[in-house]
Structure 1
Amino acid sequence: MAPLTITVLLSERFSNIVLACLLEPLRVVRDSGGADIRWTILTVNDAPVTSSSGIRVAPDDCLKHMEAANLTLIVGGDDFRKEAAEKQLSRQLRPLLRSGVVIGADTGAWLMATLGLLNGRRATIHWQLFDEFSESFLATAVSPDRFVQDGRFWTCGSAATALDLILEFITGHFGAAAAQEAAAMFLQDNTTAQLSGSALHGLRAFGSEKLRMLSARMADTLEKPLPLAELAACANMSERSLARLFHQELGVSPGQHYQAMRLTRARDLSTHTRLSIEEIALRCGFSSGSGLRRAFQKQYGQPIRRRTGSPP
């Protein structure tokens, strides 16, 4: 798959949590799935900007040096009216937005509408600005939906809707299995997870109830993977129905999904612990270190890497 290049445009007094909800799931896809995802941080005035909570962020480059990326994330801030009125900013942004997917989050849709990108299109914005946005941009059909996709232009309001939006984007670009893995990092029910040891019980917002239950069961048994017949029995279904469920909702077989979860765990242990490859293999359901190495190489196209100083 070709690299996914991302431009992240931050406005003054942007929301940290909106930025995190958009970027962190993509980071999970990059780190866990081995996808080639690269991003560049830009700001509306080429100078450091300060978030609404006081965190200062410096740009990686200047607007005039950048070309259109595959994906542009516009994270609007509290000064959106002033920024939208700056003609120089509008001139600098147009070349960046001439192609690729453009996502406007929080107040980002206001800037997109000012540039005329939403004329004749559906869009949404943060709920506090809904009425003002509707009155200011009559050529845009403003929707109360959690997020809106109209062609290559996507819009959303709050942080929660930003997470929904980017998971939908990941599903379309990398597949449902990648989106589910990213969701598992951010949608956790701590009480249930503590009782079961699973990091997947909070996936109430992703997939069917049976898929979430089966994924949680897989997560609980990575060290000793269950036969697919036993896994199917857990959900009172046949192996054939089990395979159909995973193909329909994730686009992969149950075995492929199970193995991907085990390899993700192996990758995490190899990065953050000093366990040997043999120990990691046993904890992730592989009979030997060589078996883990072969599976990892096939999945990621590169050898599993151990933390510096860990045993072979």
Structure 2
Amino acid sequence: MRSDLPMHPIHVSVVLCDAFSNMVLACLLEPLRVVRDQTGANIRWNILTDGDRAVASSSGLSVSPEMPMADAPPPDLVIIIGGDAFRDSKGATPARNLGRLIRGATVIAADTGAWVLAKGGFLNARKATLHWQLLEEFAEEFPEVEVLPDRYVQYGRFWTCGSAASAFDLMLKFIRDRFGASVAFDAGAMFLHDNARRHGASYPDQTLSQAVSPKLKRVVVLMSEALEAPRSIPALAEQAHISERSLRRLFWTELQTTPGRYYLLLRLARARELLRYSNLSLDQIAMRCGFASTTTLTRSLRKNFSSDPLRDRWTNL
């Protein structure tokens, strides 16, 4: 385990409401599962439901709670996933139970989860967002809440978002803030199409948010095209027709990292793919990913991903 990862357990309570989206649930929970499995971080979660009863997803998947909400242990993170039946709900979960659950915790409310929070008065005088189709209705229903049209909104310990795509981006931000950029990058990269990974396809911008600029994506494409012989940052800036200073500002503004750091992560992610899905030797992999030797590659993997190359090689056998 990396020494800079949180050593104490992180307990997550996931609250599901009637007609919740399976996709939103996966986009919020699966990245945490990857962090747990890849880093050894002690992340645990329990499933709770609105009204402490079995609820069905929008596609009909029935989920029962693991325990009553009132009996849930104090969580570090609460994920509330609203559903399509929010207008018909009479508030089966008493506000006092939800208030007890979220007290002191970071709260992520996705899809119509902000509606659940607002109904209990927890978003009064706060900023929030939810699914874009409901913004106007939400603002009329809850005038005490400052409604923003952003993909996601972080206001203190309350984080809100709408669609599955924005939920995924928000969770990666949570992971980046909590565990660091390399762990967040790894969690995002795990959800690329397996066939593309197995056949060695490059993935220049598939882990990037849809909200990043075309200029940034263009630079990342240039990076992905030169993994074996990495270009210098000044050369990348010249090829992208922007100044080196603007390039660095672009990466820091949109990805909160430096271009050099991101370039390194691209090369390491490619190396991990080849370790898992190819029969290339370590020497060949190091060469294809722009590392001078297997020693340099191994040291960089261990430093950035707590990754043992031989363990990665046998992970998927």
Report the TM-score range of the alignment, normalised by the length of the smaller protein. Answer: 0.7 to 0.9
Does structure 2 conserve the Cα–Cα contact (< 8 Å) formed by 1:5 and 1:69?
yes
The corresponding residue for 1:218 is: 223
Match of 2:60 among 54, 64, 79: 54
CA RMSD of aligned residues (A): 3.9
Conserved 8 A contact 1:177-1:252: no
The CA distance in 2 between the partners of 1:212 and 1:226, in whole Å, is: 16
d(CA) in 1 for partners of 2:250, 2:315:
43
Specify whether residues 273 and 187 from structure 1 end up closer, same or farther in structure 2 by C-alpha distance, changes over 3 A only: closer
Provide TM-score, normalisation by structure 2: 0.74
Q: What is residue 18 of structure 1 aligned with on the other side? A: 24
Contact 1:177 1:251 in 2 (8 A): no
For the residue of structure 2 that corresponds to 1:215, the secondary structure is helix
Q: For residues 135-150 of structure 1, what are the structure 2 equivalents within 5 Å?
A: 135-150=140-155
In structure 2, the residue matched to 1:118 is: 123
Listed one character per residue, the Cα deviations across residues 75-112 of structure 1 (whole Å, up to 9, x for unaligned) are 0123435655225x434322220112212222212221
1:203-242 CA-partner distances (Å, limit 9, x unpaired): 5734444332221111122233224443233123555654
Amino acid aligned to 1:267: R
Instruction: Look up the equivalent residue of 1:14 and give its one-letter code.
Output: F
The answer as to 2:6 corresponding to 1:2 is yes
- Gaps (5+ residues) in structure 2? 194-200
1:251-302 per-residue CA deviation (whole Å, 9 max, x = no partner) reads 4443322222111222233334454433432332223322221111122234
* Residue 278 to residue 19, structure 1, CA distance change in 2 (3 Å): same
Distance 1:22 1:77 in 2: 15
8 Å Cα contact 1:106-1:126 kept in structure 2: yes
2:76 is the counterpart of 1:73: no
1:233 to 234, 238, 241: 238
Q: CA deviation at 1:129?
A: 4.4
TM-score, with length taken from structure 1: 0.75
Change (3 A) 1:161 1:93: same
Find the aligned partners of 2:316 and 2:188 in 1 and give their Cα distance. 30
Helix, strand or coil at the partner of 1:226 = coil
Structure 1 counterpart of 2:271: 266
Contact 2:35 2:41 in 1 (8 A): no
Report the CA distance shift for 1:247/1:159 in structure 2 as closer, same or farther (over 3 A): closer
Q: Matched residues in 2 for 1:300 and 1:289: separation?
A: 16
CA distance in 1, matches of 2:280, 2:115: 50
Q: Tell me which residue corresponds to 2:294.
A: 289
Q: How many pairs are equivalent? A: 302
The 1:98–1:157 alpha-carbon spacing in structure 2 relative to 1, beyond 3 Å, is same
Is 1:183–1:206's contact at 8 Å kept on the other side of the alignment? no
| Structure 2 match to 1:38 | 43
Distance 1:244 1:54 in 2: 46
Q: Quote the residue 2:197 is aligned against.
A: none
Q: For residue 193 of structure 1, what is the aligned residue in structure 2?
A: none
Tell me the SS of whatever aligns to 1:113. Answer: helix
SS, match of residue 263 in structure 1: helix
Gap regions ≥5 residues in structure 1? 189-196
CA distance change for structure 1 residues 146 and 210 in 2, over 3 Å: closer, same or farther? closer
